[in-house]
């Protein structure tokens, strides 16, 4: 994931799912609309230890804005995102 600290913007990085680390926890947020996918991710991340990875699956179109913004504001690392068949899969590493 590319980070620009000056602007606080995270650029989207499309990755091969085989390149992503295995998830310590998977969250299915399909069918949930803003802000529920991010709220669900935040709640589940609170239960993880620093460095652990959350895999979040969403189909809310607003998630392409909400998830990177959430990671940027909360300090969690957005490792990557995969899109396909109307859904998005996000890998988020719990902040140190």
Catalytic residues: 34
Tokens of 51: 């460095």
Look at residue 84 and give its three-state secondary structure.
strand
- Give CA–CA dist 51/53, Å, rounded: 7
Query: What's the sign of the alpha-carbon dihedral 52, 58, 60, 34?
Result: negative
Look at residue 5 and give its three-state secondary structure.
coil
């Amino acid at each position: 994931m590319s980070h620009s600290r000056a602007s606080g913007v995270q650029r989207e990085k499309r990755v091969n799912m085989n390149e992503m680390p295995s998830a310590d926890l998977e969250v299915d947020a399909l069918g949930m609309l803003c802000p529920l996918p991010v709220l669900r991710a935040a709640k589940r991340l609170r239960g993880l230890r620093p460095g652990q990875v959350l895999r979040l699956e969403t189909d809310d179109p607003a998630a392409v804005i909400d998830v990177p913004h959430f990671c940027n504001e909360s300090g969690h690392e957005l490792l990557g995102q995969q899109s396909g068949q109307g859904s998005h899969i996000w890998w988020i590493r719990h902040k140190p």
